[in-house]
């Protein structure tokens, strides 16, 4: 296996966790580079369901080094809970997990500010996961964020906390009429977290460099999806990090020459959680069928995911901004039984048809999808493991995606478990 970046090509929840799990066998290192516990990556192992939020999905395989990079934002409480949860399920989390000292820390006030801001936005709210992701990245960008390494320097940490809370408490009390936070209470709590987490902290750029020099196979596990990327997504209805390939590099301190392949995980249809435009959204029975059959409920918040047909305009945009070298099609089995399948090939906007994803949200909000209809397949693909055993019409669907997006399909996922997978164009 080569060094592979795995990104989501849509609005997240494409099945990245499952694909990372399937590719981990051939890797030695699995690294997360951005996002935080807003992510929910589901993996089924021997029928048991695991949802990873912060820790790379590779942790479920023995003897793989798992790395959390500087680009990730970490809620120590959520991290400790995840470690404890895995450990209680006999999954080793020890020296196989390393966390960047430069990763920023999510504080309780970030979560409070996330919630309050959303409340004031009314119908324009983003529909965040409420995990404090945006406010933490805001502090990082305005250079007053707290990094994991700050927890190792208690006096410095308290000084920063004091300075931050001065402003935060004014905002909470005066703007939101909400209770302020107490410096000492947070300080004591976070010192306890530090005791639990300290042994995992490392200089991750040095570690990554060592892995690269010793030619270890590295899997880069993206979180969220390209359309949620802060630069390339449907801004402002996005998350606050670069969920496309660039984030994988800056979030771990490596350069693009260290990567061989960039795989875009793509659901055979489209889903989105939270607010924002979604041209192919189906508010009818078909949308409900996709939602029910696909069990489309958020792995982090439990919210129902909005569902719609596959959107090739989105995929071409993702191909472009990620330089994709391979596509991974997931949840093909959810289209089993559909006689006809619609695929969006362009957006009607005023008197023209757009085939490039519009960069302005005000245009996107007024686009209607142009569909092309394809035949469904006559027997189920669920659980099929050989490409040759897929029905002809499923072959046609995959070939159509390859041709239209101009990227080869390298993996097809036909069910939720590890075994339901077809490696088409690659060696594991």
Q: In terms of C-beta density within 10 A (0-12 exposed, 13-18 middle, 19 or more buried), how is residue 193 classed?
A: middle
Does the protein bind ligand IMO through residue 8 (CB under 6 A)? Answer: yes
Please list every residue from 226 through 245 that binds ligand IMO, using CB under 6 A.
Answer: 228, 239-240
User: Pattern 31-60, binding to ligand GDP, x per CB under 6 A?
Assistant: ---------xxx-x----------------
Query: Is residue 13 annotated as a catalytic residue, yes or no?
Result: yes
Query: Is residue 41 annotated as a catalytic residue, yes or no?
Result: yes
How near is the Cβ of 7 to Mg ion at its closest, in Å? 13
Closer residue to Mg ion in complex, CB, 219/299? 299
Q: List the catalytic residue out of 13, 229, 311, 333.
A: 13
Does the protein bind ligand IMO through residue 369 (CB under 6 A)? Answer: no
Interatomic CA distance for residues 289 and 269, integer angstroms: 12
For 38-63, b/e burial (b = at least 16 CB within 10 A) is bbbbbbbeeeeebebbbbbbbbbbee
Contact yes or no for 135/194 (Cβ under 8 A): no
List the one residue from 73, 299, 364, 398 that touches ligand GDP (CB under 6 A): 299
Range list of β-strands (E), 33-80: 41-45, 48-52, 65-68, 73-74
DSSP 123-152: GG-----SSSHHHHHHHHHTT---BGGGGG
Closer residue to ligand IMO in complex, CB, 96/240? 240
How near is the Cβ of 129 to ligand GDP at its closest, in Å? 12
How near is the Cβ of 222 to ligand IMO at its closest, in Å? 7
DSSP label of 167? H
Closer residue to ligand GDP in complex, CB, 208/228? 228
Question: What contacts 386, CB < 8 A, 6 or more positions away?
Answer: 422
Closer residue to ligand GDP in complex, CB, 293/366? 293
Containing 346, the helix (H) or strand (E) segment is: strand 340-349
The binder of 38, among ligand GDP, ligand IMO, Mg ion, none, by C-beta within 5 to 8 A per type, is ligand IMO
Does the protein bind Mg ion through residue 150 (CB under 5 A)? Answer: no
φ, ψ at 174 (rounded to 5°): -85, -40
Binding site residues, Mg ion, CB under 5 A: 13, 40, 299
Binding site residues, ligand IMO, CB under 6 A: 8, 11-13, 38-41, 126-129, 131, 133-134, 223-225, 228, 239-240, 273-274, 299
Task: Tell me which residues are annotated as active site.
Answer: 13, 41
């Amino acid at each position: 296996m080569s060094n592979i970046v795995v990104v989501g090509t849509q609005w997240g929840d494409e099945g990245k966790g499952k694909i990372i799990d399937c590719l981990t066998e051939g890797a030695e290192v699995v690294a997360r580079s951005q996002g935080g516990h807003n992510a929910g990556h589901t993996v089924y192992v021997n029928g048991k369901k695991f949802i990873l939020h912060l820790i790379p999905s590779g942790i479920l395989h023995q003897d793989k080094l798992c790395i959390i990079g500087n680009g990730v934002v970490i809620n120590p409480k959520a991290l400790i809970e995840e470690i404890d949860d895995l450990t209680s399920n006999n999954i080793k989390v020890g020296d196989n997990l390393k966390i960047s000292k430069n990763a920023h820390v999510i504080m309780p006030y970030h979560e409070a500010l996330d919630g309050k801001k959303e409340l004031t936005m009314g119908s324009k709210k983003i529909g965040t996961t409420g995990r404090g992701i945006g406010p933490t990245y805001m502090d990082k960008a305005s250079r007053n964020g707290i990094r994991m390494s700050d927890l190792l320097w208690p006096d410095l940490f308290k000084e920063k906390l004091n300075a931050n809370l001065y402003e935060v408490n004014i905002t909470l009390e005066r703007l939101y009429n909400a209770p302020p936070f107490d410096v000492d209470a947070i300080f004591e709590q976070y010192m306890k977290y530090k005791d639990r987490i300290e042994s995992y902290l490392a200089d991750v750029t040095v570690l990554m460099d060592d892995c690269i020099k010793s030619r270890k196979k590295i899997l880069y596990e993206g979180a969220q999806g390209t359309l949620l990327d802060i630069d390339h997504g449907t801004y402002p209805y996005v998350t606050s990090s670069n969920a496309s390939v660039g984030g994988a590099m800056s979030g771990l301190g490596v350069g693009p020459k260290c990567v061989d392949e960039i795989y875009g995980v793509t659901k055979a249809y489209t889903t989105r959680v939270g607010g924002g435009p979604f041209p192919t959204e189906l508010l009818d029975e078909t949308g409900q069928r996709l939602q029910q059959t696909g069990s489309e409920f958020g792995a982090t918040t439990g919210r129902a995911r909005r569902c719609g047909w596959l959107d090739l305009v989105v995929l071409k945009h993702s191909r472009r901004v990620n330089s994709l070298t391979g596509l991974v099609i997931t949840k093909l089995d959810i289209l089993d039984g559909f006689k006809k399948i619609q695929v969006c090939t362009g957006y009607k906007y005023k008197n023209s048809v757009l085939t490039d994803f519009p960069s302005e949200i005000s245009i996107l909000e007024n686009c209607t999808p142009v569909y092309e209809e394809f035949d469904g397949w006559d027997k189920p693909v669920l659980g099929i493991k050989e490409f040759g055993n897929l029905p002809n019409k499923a072959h046609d669907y995959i070939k159509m995606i390859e041709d239209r997006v101009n990227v080869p399909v390298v993996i097809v996922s036909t069910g939720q478990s590890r075994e339901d997978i077809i490696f088409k164009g690659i060696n594991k």
